[in-house]
Every structure is written in C-alpha cells, then in structure tokens.
Homo-oligomer: A and B are copies of this chain.
Amino acid sequence: MTERKPRKDATRNRDVVFAAADALFANDSGAEEVTMADIAAAAGVGKGTLFRAFGDRTGLIRALYAARLEPLNSAVETGDPPLGPGTPPRERISALLDAMLCFKLDNRHLALALEQGSANSPYGTANYEDWHLLIRELLGDRPAADFTAHALLAAVRADLVEYLTDVRGLSRAELREQLSAFADSVL
C-alpha cells in the first residue's frame, strides 16, 4: 500500500534528464565542470525537478551510472559465458575484469564523476559490494581472497584508467592486454 505509481510526466522527465546528463558528461570537457543548472537547462527542466527526482547531485550521478551499468550487470547475473554463470572461475574473473575495464573506458567521464564525488568513492555504491562478493567467491579459498578481490577491482578504477589512457597514452588494446596479463599473474 505504500506504493503509488509515479505520474507520467515525472518518468518522462527522468529519461530526458538522463539523456542530457549523459551528453554533457560525455562531451569530453572535464567531468566536474558540469553543474546541476547546466543539466537542468540541457534537459529543458527546472533545477527543482532535478533535486526532487534524485535528491542531490550524487543521487543523480549514481542513478545514471546504475542505469548505464545495468546491461553489464544482467549479462553477468544471467548471461552466456564467459561473463555469465557456468564459466570456470579463473576464466570468468578475467572476463569480468575485462568487461569492467571496457565499461570504464566507454563511460570514462561518468565513472569519473561517480568515483570522485566527495565522500563516496566507488565504495558505498550499491553494486560494488556485489562485484566484490562475486569475485571473492570465484577466487575460492586462497589466502587473502577477500583483499585480493578488492585489489583486482581497484585495478580498474576509473581514475587509473583515465590516467593510463589520457596521460600515459596507452591504447585500449594495450590496456586490455596488460590487465589481462596482470590478472593471469594473480590467478
């Protein structure tokens, strides 16, 4: 009974806002240059609408990130190998890390905005715990499995990825290659 379906304009605006925010973030200028007012203007809505719908800036970024990550998440939960269940652990971990890396590469600015947002880091995002738990279980009972899972995830953090590509000039292929070799050496 505590559920009331939202009005139609509300959900429509939600989509519009996502699209606008996505475009602004993607538009290679720095991540945190984009203000809430910018997003509101680009979406053609009032600032109040943004805050009512998402609570605060962090909420908006988190919602957008979750929406973009969703396909990958469901591919992992109920998809075909090598991402989905039923893949041998070692192989699946490699696939997960590679997929995560590609996601960060493709959504660099968004991921950066999320991971830099003051007081959150990746830790505290809903799905972080899921990813960690999954990898940790795939690692089996090796020593320090828990920490190893964290370390593997830390190896694909958005700001590291950005640094390696934008500052160090690594190509996508090189990065994937190195990550893969590193993962192999850990497993």
Contact = CB atoms under 8 A, between A and B. Distances in A.
A178 interface: yes
A119 interface: yes
A147 interface: yes
B147 A32 contact: no
Contact of A182 (B30, B148, B160, B164): B148
Nearest to A116: B118
Interface of A: 30, 32, 116, 118-119, 121, 123-124, 142-144, 146-148, 150-151, 154-155, 157, 159-160, 163-164, 167, 175, 177-179, 181-182, 185-186
Nearest to A149: B182
A143 B186 CA distance: 12
A185 B154 contact: no
Contacts of A186: 185-186
Contacts of A160: 121, 123, 150, 154
Contact of A147 (B118, B143, B147, B178): B178
Q: Name which of A167, A181, A182, A186 has the most chain B CB atoms within 10 A of its CB.
A: A182
Contacts of A182: 144, 147-148, 151
Contacts of A146: 178
Given A121-B160, A144-B179, A150-B155, 13 more contacts: A116-B119, A116-B121, A123-B159, A123-B163, A124-B167, A144-B181, A146-B178, A147-B155, A147-B178, A147-B181, A147-B182, A151-B155, A157-B157
Contacts of A119: 30, 32, 116
A121 B163 contact: yes
Contact of A185 (B32, B142, B178, B179): B142
